[in-house]
Amino acid sequence: MRKEEFLKEHQDLFHKQVSRSDFPPDFVFGVATSAYQIEGGSNEGGRGPSIWDAFTRKKGTIIDGSNGDVAVDHYHRYKEDIELIAKFGFEAYRFSISWSRIFPDGTGTKVNEDGIKFYNNIINSLLEKGIEPYVTLYHWDLPLHLEESMGGWLNKEIVKYFAIYADTCFANFGDRVKNWITINEPLQTSINGFDIGIFAPGRHENSSVEPYLAAHNQILAHATAVSIYQSKYRDQQGGKIGLVIDCEWSEANSDKIEDKVATARRLEFQLGWYLGPIYDGEYPEIMRETLGDKLPKFSEEDKNLLRNSKPDFIGINHYTSRFISHITETTGGPYFYKAQQIERIAEWEGGEPIGEKGASEWLYVCPWGLQKLLTYISQRYNNIPIYVTENGMDDEDIDAPLDELLDDKLRVRYFNGYLAGVAQAIKNGANVKGYFAWSLLDNFEWCNGYTKRFGLVYVDYKNGLARHPKSSAYWFKRFLKGDEEKTSKKED
Ligand code: GBH
């Protein structure tokens, strides 16, 4: 791909000054987190263990040997954290509920009232400040008992337990929570959990089968929860429910037909794998052709369920983009990539990186990718309402004077560029309803432990987990409060 030509065609979003007025007035701006990454309090309030508690204890799984036992202690500091969300002017907060705080062994036999109380406190504190809660039911922290006793997502019985858990959350919180997300990034559970094995439960032994089974059961669990919400709660509570898919943008590496086909295939394997069943009642044709019997089948009953449980919106988690080319040699490497026969390229023709690099290996700053992704989803899936439920970048955890650590210039450029991309996608017709920055706080970044920092707010791990807002948090504040504050240079 030739950079000059490409960027001429897809305008350079970094140089647009984006403002709140580029978005519809009812567009929602929020900030996001997830339970295991921030809560800590792992043995408090009756919480049962999750697969991440067990996984982080295995040698070699987490780069710095850390875990989420304390994380950033949001369990005790949620009030302070909600103050921060309010201070920067966010209108919404996306967080996840830890399943094993509600049902310590996951089975739904005994509701843990302390868990209910904890999330009631969070929801009520948010509403007091006028912040709309967006609640994810599952952000990867499966109750350990469900993994150990029955194989977790590999066993179809999990659908039943997820349904009880979801129902319990709707019943307890749905009078105040109007936006529900069933599952976060089922792709990551499938691939990193059951093929590559870098996420809990860390399996890779049967990677030509298990990822597809784990995906299948997540899709059915999602649909069952939607169906419960829509039949039992929606009329009374008046909320909406959807799921969150993660997707990089894929751009063909050349005009060669095989590269274009590989790119389309890649998008089907990321988005279509989940949105296909949910919208069309079936996996994408290319997946069925490629995987044959390895891909589970939906029964008539399943199809009926899928037909009658269409989500109200789709959440998209998006961070980065890649050029894709077709390969014929697929020896070695995770099964998933073999199944797609793709090469994922992070360079322009000539060797320059596809974008500035974040701290994570996989993260390059390419705002045009989000614009293209939103347009693609709108066109491919019948103009469904979309929320960008995560978007952000990370810095390395380094030792430097605090004021330098807090002045996150690249992150400010990232948000400005990606938001300009969202605004452009909306102008071009995409039905985007809201945007959530990832993440409120530096936190436990899964297999990277505390070595990568995605926060708008710096957390000082060496000094009592003190919170220090970064420049990007103040950037959002000015952006969200609009022109009235733009004129005042003062940053409190
Ligand atoms: C999100 O996933 C998660 O929802 C969130 O919890 C997390 O903190 C955030 O990302 C930042 O990582 O090494 O090339 O195989 C985004 C999906 C999953 C993208 C892991 C990168 C590794 C890609 N991410 N993936 S690679």
For the four alpha carbons of 288, 291, 293 and 296, in that order, the dihedral sign comes to negative
- List pLDDT tens digits, range 258-297: 999 999 999 999 999 999 999 999 999 999 999 999 999 9
274 marked as part of a ligand binding site: no
Ligand 1, atom nearest to 362 Cα: 14
Ligand 1 centroid–CA 360 distance in Å is: 9
Is the Cβ–Cβ distance between 388 and 27 less than 8 Å? no
For the four alpha carbons of 328, 332, 333 and 336, in that order, the dihedral sign comes to positive
Q: Which residues make beta-bridge pairs with 388?
A: 316, 435
Catalytic residues: 185, 390
Ligand 1 contact, 236 CB (< 6 A): no
H or E element at residue 469: strand 466-469
- End-to-end Cα distance, the chain: 45
> Cα–Cα distance between 378 and 371 in angstroms, integer?
11
Say if residue 147's pLDDT is above 90.
Answer: yes
CA distances from 122 to 39, 86, 126, 137, 372 (A): 12, 13, 6, 15, 35
Classify strands 342-345 and 321-326 as parallel, antiparallel or unpaired: antiparallel
Q: How confident is the model at residue 482 (pLDDT cuts 50, 70, 90)?
A: confident
Among 1-5, 129-133, 258-262, 390-394, the least confident range: 1-5
- List pLDDT tens digits, range 307-328: 999 999 999 999 999 999 999 8
Average pLDDT over residues 401-409: 98
> Cα–Cα distance between 432 and 483 in angstroms, integer?
23
Residue 9: its pLDDT value, please?
Answer: 86
| Beta carbons within 8 Å of 249's beta carbon, 6+ residues apart | 318, 320, 321, 322, 366, 368, 369, 370, 372, 373, 376
> Cα–Cα distance between 354 and 379 in angstroms, integer?
25
Ligand 1 centroid–CA 336 distance in Å is: 16
> Cα–Cα distance between 306 and 283 in angstroms, integer?
12
37 marked as part of a ligand binding site: yes
CA 135 to chain CA centroid, Å, is 12
Ligand 1 contact, 362 CB (< 6 A): yes
Ligand 1 contact, 454 CB (< 6 A): yes
270 marked as part of a ligand binding site: no
Average pLDDT over residues 190-214: 97
> Cα–Cα distance between 54 and 60 in angstroms, integer?
13
- List pLDDT tens digits, range 56-80: 999 999 999 999 999 999 999 999 9
Residue 151: its pLDDT value, please?
Answer: 98
As a whole-number percent, the residues of the chain with pLDDT over 90 amount to 93
Ligand 1 contact, 248 CB (< 6 A): no
CA distances from 435 to 266, 388, 390 (A): 24, 5, 7
Domains of the chain: 3-491 (3.20.20.80)
Ligand 1 centroid–CA 246 distance in Å is: 8
H or E element at residue 199: none
Q: How confident is the model at residue 1 (pLDDT cuts 50, 70, 90)?
A: confident
Q: What is the pTM of this model?
A: 0.97
Rg (CA), the chain: 21
Ligand 1, atom nearest to 448 Cα: 12
Say if residue 239's pLDDT is above 50.
Answer: yes
Say if residue 329's pLDDT is above 90.
Answer: no
Among protein residues, the one whose CA lies closest to atom 21 of ligand 1 = 362
